[in-house]
Chains A and B, each alone.
Chain A
């Protein structure tokens, strides 16, 4: 048995033992709580900042996180076309805390999206970034605990998300251009 499977089985064996821990894991592993929370944090961050420079930096973070998510999602679709890994519950007897997704297990979509947003924020604003990172981490880890992903899926998803946001972050000309346009539109609507 390889290390990935061993880690998964060890971790998943903890599920179903403590109802409060299962409830907490269910809250984080579903498709509704984590992504929605991360997305509304970006809405809040858009308006955050005591000075104009601080607000611009936060708005840049929102843009990098959003574009990073789009890049990560596109890469993920390509990888899914080329490689299919069955879900843990299809190969092992697991304690499943969620429904049975039918798409490829590798890489984790949830981790990719979570970490693309977390990296986009963290690269610009460490204070908010830490919290967003924690949510992304709980979102990814709870999926292993709940029997939906192997640890390697989450690790690869996190790496893909992080790398996507980092790549966007490095495209300064593109981000600045888009940010200037977005701020112009937002200023016209009085939502800056």
Chain B
């Protein structure tokens, strides 16, 4: 396995996929009104969510290509890239879902307090 041969490329690629997937999820949550996926809660469902999502995607790529040495001298195999991508995007989905659940609970709690008042 090349993972052990190129640990820095593997780690950085995993981070890239995590950040970029999270960015796309925030962008999609904002664009299609999906509160269950919004890390920023209700604030992430408008233009803010789309901007944050786009910045995460762009920033992820800029960081990866600027801070990963040896990218054009060697590389990971296709199977390894898809394994890392799958693991990272599933983690991003889990994180977004956790964030969304947290904010949904908060909103629900606030609504209950408001009703009791």
Query: Footprint of B on A, CB under 8 Å?
Result: 26-27, 30-33, 35-36, 39-41, 43-44, 46-49, 55, 73, 97-99, 101, 109, 113, 189-191
Residues of A within 8 A of B73 (CB): 99
Closest CB-CB distance, A131 to chain B, in whole Å? 14
Interface size class on chain B is 20 to 34
B31 lies within 8 A of A48 (CB): yes
B17 lies within 8 A of A27 (CB): no
Asked if B39 is an interface residue, CB under 8 A from chain A, the answer is no
Residues of B within 8 A of A44 (CB): 24, 27-28
A99 lies within 8 A of B89 (CB): no
Residues of B within 8 A of A36 (CB): 16-17, 20, 85
B81 lies within 8 A of A47 (CB): no
Cα of A23 to Cα of B97 in the assembled complex, Å: 37
Asked if B32 is an interface residue, CB under 8 A from chain A, the answer is yes
Given contacts A32-B13, A189-B97, A191-B93, contact A40 B76 (CB under 8 A): no
Asked if B63 is an interface residue, CB under 8 A from chain A, the answer is no
Top 3 nearest A-B pairs (CB, nearest first) are: A47-B28, A190-B36, A40-B24
A39 lies within 8 A of B85 (CB): yes
